[in-house]
Amino acid sequence: MDTHVMPKETLAELLFFLAENEEFGSVKKLLVDGFTIEEVRAALRELAEGLRKEASQEATHQYNAQKDIRLSKEAKDIISYLSPGEEKSLLTAFGLVEKSKSVLQANPPIKAKP
Contact 19, 44 (CB under 8 A): yes
Query: Does residue 76 sit in the same domain as residue 31?
Result: no
Whether 6 and 50 map to the same domain: the answer is: yes
Q: At what angle do helices 84-93 and 73-80 cross, to 10 degrees?
A: 140
pLDDT in tens, 41-66: 999 999 999 998 888 777 666 677 88
Number of independent structural domains in the chain = 2
- Does residue 108 belong to any structural domain of this protein? no
Tell whether 50 and 68 lie within a shared domain: no
Residue 48 lies in a domain: yes
Contact, 13 vs 29, CB < 8 A?
A: no
In a domain, 110, yes or no: no
In a shared domain, residues 41 and 91: no
- Give this prediction's pTM: 0.53
Q: What's the distance, CA 109 to chain centroid?
A: 11
Summarised one tens digit per residue, pLDDT across range 63-114 is 778 888 888 999 999 988 988 778 888 888 888 776 654 433 444 455 555 5
Classify residue 113: in a domain, yes or no. no
